[in-house]
Chain A
């Protein structure tokens, strides 16, 4: 190397300066827009002391909301997991007409407003809906009741698992499964012994994101819930009720539970990406 000319050296330090400024600008944006809101949740939750915090979290209505949130997720997430696996199997292992249309319909719930997602079920099963009269005759209540919450949650979380699996299974191809078939394995044997081990981490990843949305969904469940305390209030709806009652400490205390869930989700997600990055492959173009 020749001795660096002063001009080159100054250009080099100028570039370092630009790098530092860009990093600083990016981190400032992340800190103000993401880190501060997260910190605010925990600070506001503990503002009135630990006693108030604990009281808000163990309040019977909060406990009922926690149970309901777990119940809704426990129904919606497994159903959409089965759907996601079936959709990925059909979309990546076979050729058929209208595949692109099917893919677009699977993604559709992502581009529908949560409020509209709730509205469509009210129009279908509400008192004035298509099936309203029939349901009333048979004394079945779907809207302003738990089944409505489950349906709306299934709708908004429908694409998560399928979205993770389709690009992965596409890029993996079906050679291994076809080999197993030739060797005489049955369909379920192929699935459990060949496919599932290949996609397990991506499947877990999809389930994780699906669950986070299922437990945190607000708009869609808000429309179908009817906000009956202790009966149809999920955790996010309970946060809203406390907040609108000017019980800020209580609202943030319950919100901190959901924020904690979000942090656990992010931690697990980061771990999966770090440990099993290659097995999650085909990440390009992911978005929710």
Chain B
């Protein structure tokens, strides 16, 4: 077999490696080195200070919850967009990508205007005693917004490619619609659902622009981890900022790794 029939291997790979080295790897190495400067003991003390710990819990807790909400809502929306026809379907399909296209700062101030006590939605919720803006609930809402398209966009192609024969077979064997969905379709959709979940989660954990306006940023209460980094930078505490940054990266990678293992297991389960 004649490999490398085409020219340009050295040129393209050389350029790609140089670019990645300069833009991605070198700066990340600087982060790792700066964080390692304070040692594991220092890292632990840093991360376990009450303010950082509270932000850590809020960032990851709200991100996981937002990804769960997006998995459920995303499954519903993807299903409706693929399976049913109704007026305005193409419009709503295009609208799904809005969080990708809308700059996060714009989303942030728009959500704050909506959910502030006098905003369109905030005014409806206020009599019920529900406060969204400037509370952890606001953080959650912003994370749901930015993570929403991921689940829909990973599920849509899978739903489109599903063979309807399988469903018909299940139905003709006496399964109810609900049984067909939970026993037949859901296992087939699960790997893609997990991919979407992971992407939404990764985005929500690191999200900054859309969250900081609506969060109110009250230390120990509604302050997210990226904001902790920004505050440390403003006080010129570079090593501390690097430490929080590296912990954040490490935790996200662990979560993504866990999800990809879960995915592998679910794929095997679906193929069984």
Contact = CB atoms under 8 A, between A and B. Distances in A.
Interface in A222-240: 222-223, 235-237, 239-240
A218 interface: yes
A63 interface: no
A34 B12 contact: no
A27 B92 contact: yes
Interface in B1-45: 3-9, 11-13, 15-17, 19-20, 23-28, 30-31, 34
Contacts of B17: 102
A120 B229 CA distance: 12
Contact of A124 (B20, B26, B203, B209): B26
B157 A33 contact: no
Interface string B193-209: 00110010011011111
Interface string A247-270: 010011001001101110111011
A151 interface: yes
A114 B206 contact: yes
Contacts of B119: 40
B263 to A, nearest CB: 12
B76 interface: yes
Contacts of A37: 102, 107, 110-111, 114, 145
Contact size range, B: 35 or more
A125 to B, nearest CB: 9
A23 B30 contact: no
A265 B99 CA distance: 12
A112 B207 CA distance: 9
B33 to A, nearest CB: 8
A212 interface: yes
B102 A119 contact: no
Interface in A108-154: 108-116, 119-124, 126, 128-130, 151, 154
A206 interface: no
B79 A154 contact: no
A219 B106 contact: no
Interface stretch (A2-10, A49-57, A86-94): A86-94
Nearest to A15: B177
Contacts of A82: 15
B195 A218 contact: no
A115 B230 contact: yes
Contact of A29 (B7, B76, B195, B230): B76
Interface string B221-235: 000011101100100
A200 interface: no
A276 interface: no
24 contacts: A25-B76, A26-B80, A33-B145, A37-B114, A87-B12, A90-B9, A90-B16, A102-B20, A110-B203, A111-B202, A111-B206, A112-B249, A120-B27, A122-B233, A187-B7, A212-B101, A218-B103, A219-B226, A236-B209, A255-B103, A269-B94, A269-B97, A286-B154, A287-B195
A-B pairs, top 8 by smallest CB distance, nearest first, are: A113-B206, A216-B103, A219-B208, A218-B209, A120-B27, A187-B7, A115-B226, A262-B101
